[in-house]
């Protein structure tokens, strides 16, 4: 499988696309004025403790207070044996208390950031964990001998450090096959960085930012680049040079795949990425067979509906449904990554009678999700025939980054018809007639509504005028939304 990364940089916005076999699979967007804060470490102040929710709100200097649950707090030694469920949060936190926290989820919608006190700092091959000396290994490294080798190397490096406490380390997936020298370099880098963070924790007052994660273009080199990447193309000369310096210091093995892209054609046009972004913002996703998917993203969950559409098959209905569902399972895995959808996801595959077909579709979905860098869990098929799954949500989806709620429909996704608005106007005129004594009425409304009042609903207008004994006039307001109107007493 060929894989490359494209980095499009402007002073206002950085965009990264992961391409597999010529198809965009993941798109990340970070704007200078709205940078994500996942991974940032803050010295915050507890502003409110909620014993009933076993949680607290912490001021870390953002517009909205962040949220931390009792499970994300360190337990005192004398309470460790009791378990977290029996320990009240108001015995751990008090209002006004300073607390060093790390962001695990960006603010999304009306929700503040999610926090933890279990601090961790990533480098190329390792993740440093403060507060414990455990050495863990990514589950994606499956070879037992390689796991033992890596653990032994890190233990040897840590044992050779001239430090009283070192903290713990987790070996990331990209550490598979690396030598002791590279791991040693990462361990020393992380220890020096943690020393700097500790100094800031002591000197800065709350609320303040202690540590800020790398910008998107550097995170792409640190987290997304691996030995299978063929090329990393960057369309900014300055960013390319910074990437060369960063790679030389932290990720030397990708030096040879970094390329500056000077082409006149925009870099995101190389694989029709702009077109894919537009498609990813829509509800409907066409399948090659003629079927289609419908994505609906709500506050609580995302639902995916599969339809055969124009696909009629060649044999029988069951075979048509099976092939459509198989194609849909592959497309859904890609769309979840492309749209960066997280949380609870409910998939309504077309009902299949054959249990073997159900198992194959579910297995196809699970196989596609194995490629996802974000943790996914498929719980199986429910009694209603729905596939329930979760995908870890840390950052806002592509739609939330690029779009906002429609001012006309307030995010409902639909607006009232002109006919509905006309009837609302009639009811408002009757209400005004009973409350006030006036000679006539002037209705201000959008063009489509006024057109209907003067044409299709003109008979009703005449009946209303006869009933109230008053004249009703209409005026088009170009600035009014389709649902907006005013009844003016004259």
My answer on whether 356 and 267 are in the same domain is no
130 in a structural domain: no
| CB contact at 8 A, 98 and 45 | yes
Q: Give residue-wise pLDDT tens across range 11-41.
A: 899 999 999 999 999 999 998 888 889 999 9
- Token pair belonging to 301: 């969950």
pLDDT score of 173: 87
Asked if the model's pLDDT at residue 78 lies above 70, the reply is no
In the block, residue with structure tokens 């996802």: 372
Q: How confident is the model at residue 167 (pLDDT cuts 50, 70, 90)?
A: confident
My answer on whether 474 and 391 are in the same domain is no
Question: The pTM is what?
Answer: 0.79
Q: How far apart are CA 71 and CA 56, in angstroms?
A: 11
Asked if the model's pLDDT at residue 81 lies above 80, the reply is no
| 19: CATH | 3.30.420.60
| CB contact at 8 A, 65 and 48 | yes
313: containing domain: 283-400
Asked if the model's pLDDT at residue 83 lies above 60, the reply is no
Q: Which of 368, 400, 432 is the last residue of a domain?
A: 400
Q: Give residue-wise pLDDT tens across range 430-444.
A: 999 999 989 999 999
pLDDT score of 315: 66
My answer on whether 304 and 342 are in the same domain is yes
| 383: CATH | 3.40.630
My answer on whether 379 and 353 are in the same domain is yes
My answer on whether 365 and 425 are in the same domain is no
Q: How far is CA 17 from CA 215, 232, 341, 372, in A?
A: 15, 10, 16, 14
Q: How far apart are CA 27 and CA 231, in angstroms?
A: 16
307 in a structural domain: yes
Asked if the model's pLDDT at residue 357 lies above 60, the reply is yes
| 450: CATH | 3.40.1260.20
My answer on whether 378 and 307 are in the same domain is yes
Asked if the model's pLDDT at residue 84 lies above 70, the reply is no
Q: How far is CA 371 from CA 26, 52, 233, 336, in A?
A: 11, 40, 22, 11
pLDDT score of 76: 73
Asked if the model's pLDDT at residue 345 lies above 90, the reply is yes
159 in a structural domain: no
pLDDT score of 186: 87
End-to-end CA distance of the chain: 73
My answer on whether 298 and 347 are in the same domain is yes
Asked if the model's pLDDT at residue 475 lies above 90, the reply is yes
| CB contact at 8 A, 222 and 190 | no
166 in a structural domain: no
Residues 6+ apart with CB under 8 A from 56: 46, 48, 49, 50, 67, 68, 89, 93
148 in a structural domain: no
3-class SS at 265? coil
121 in a structural domain: no
Q: How far is CA 480 from CA 418, 440, 444, 483, in A?
A: 13, 22, 9, 8
Q: Give residue-wise pLDDT tens across range 196-212.
A: 999 999 999 989 999 99
| CB contact at 8 A, 296 and 345 | no
pLDDT score of 77: 65
100 in a structural domain: no
Closest listed residue to residue 305, CA positions, set 283, 323, 290: 283
- As a whole number, mean pLDDT of residues 118-124 equals 91
**Structural domain count, the chain:** 3
Mean pLDDT of the chain: 89
426 in a structural domain: yes
Q: How far is CA 288 from CA 25, 292, 328, in A?
A: 17, 9, 10
My answer on whether 365 and 439 are in the same domain is no
My answer on whether 314 and 386 are in the same domain is yes
My answer on whether 269 and 287 are in the same domain is no
Beta bridge partners of 15: 8, 29
Determine what percent of the chain is predicted with pLDDT higher than 90: 58
Asked if the model's pLDDT at residue 278 lies above 70, the reply is yes
In the block, residue with structure tokens 């707090």: 73
Asked if the model's pLDDT at residue 82 lies above 60, the reply is no
My answer on whether 289 and 373 are in the same domain is yes
Beta strands in 172-227 (DSSP E): 208-211
My answer on whether 327 and 390 are in the same domain is yes
């Amino acid at each position: 499988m060929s894989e490359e990364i494209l980095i499009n940089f402007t002073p206002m916005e950085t965009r990264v696309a992961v391409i597999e076999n010529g198809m965009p699979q993941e798109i990340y967007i970070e704007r200078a004025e709205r940078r994500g804060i996942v991974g940032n470490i803050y010295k915050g102040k507890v502003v409110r403790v909620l014993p009933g929710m076993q949680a607290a709100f912490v001021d870390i200097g953002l517009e909205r207070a962040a949220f931390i649950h009792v499970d994300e707090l360190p337990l005192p030694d004398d309470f460790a044996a009791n378990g977290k469920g029996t320990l009240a949060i108001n015995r751990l936190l008090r209002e006004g208390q300073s607390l060093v926290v790390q962001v695990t989820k960006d603010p999304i919608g009306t929700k503040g950031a999610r926090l933890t006190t279990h601090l961790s700092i990533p480098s190329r091959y390792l993740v440093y964990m403060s507060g414990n000396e455990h050495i863990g290994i990514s589950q994606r490294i499956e070879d037992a001998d390689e796991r033992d080798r890596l653990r032994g190397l890190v233990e040897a490096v840590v044992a050779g450090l001239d430090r009283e406490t070192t903290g713990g380390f987790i070996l990331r997936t990209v550490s598979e096959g690396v030598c002791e020298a590279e791991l040693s370099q990462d361990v020393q880098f992380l220890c020096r960085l943690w020393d700097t963070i500790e100094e800031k924790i002591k000197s800065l007052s709350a609320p303040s930012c202690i540590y800020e994660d790398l910008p998107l273009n550097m995170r792409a080199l640190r987290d997304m680049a691996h030995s299978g990447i063929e090329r990393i193309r960057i369309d900014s000369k300055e960013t390319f040079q910074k990437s060369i310096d960063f790679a030389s210091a932290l990720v030397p093995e990708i030096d040879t795949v970094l390329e500056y892209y000077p082409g006149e054609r925009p870099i995101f046009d190389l694989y029709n990425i702009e077109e894919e972004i537009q498609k990813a913002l829509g509800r409907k996703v066409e399948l090659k067979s003629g079927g289609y998917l419908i994505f609906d993203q709500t506050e609580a969950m995302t639902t995916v509906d599969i339809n055969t559409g124009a696909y009629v098959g060649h044999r029988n209905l069951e075979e048509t449904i099976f092939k459509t569902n198989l194609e849909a399972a592959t497309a859904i895995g890609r769309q979840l990554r492309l749209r960066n959808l997280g949380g609870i996801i409910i998939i309504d595959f077309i009902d299949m009678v054959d249990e073997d077909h159900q198992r194959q579709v579910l297995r196809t979905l699970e196989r596609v999700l194995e490629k996802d860098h974000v943790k996914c869990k498929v719980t199986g098929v429910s009694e209603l025939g729905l596939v329930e799954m979760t995908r870890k949500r840390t950052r806002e989806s592509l739609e939330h980054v690029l779009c906002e709620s429609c001012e006309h429909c307030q995010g409902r996704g639909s607006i009232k018809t002109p006919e509905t608005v006309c009837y609302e106007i009639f009811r408002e005129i009757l209400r005004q007639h009973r409350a006030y004594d006036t000679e006539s009425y002037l209705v201000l409304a959008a063009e489509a509504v006024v057109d209907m009042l003067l044409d299709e609903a003109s008979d009703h207008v005449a009946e209303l005028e006869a009933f109230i004994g008053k004249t009703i006039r209409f005026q088009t307001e170009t600035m009014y939304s389709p649902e907006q109107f005013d009844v003016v007493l004259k």
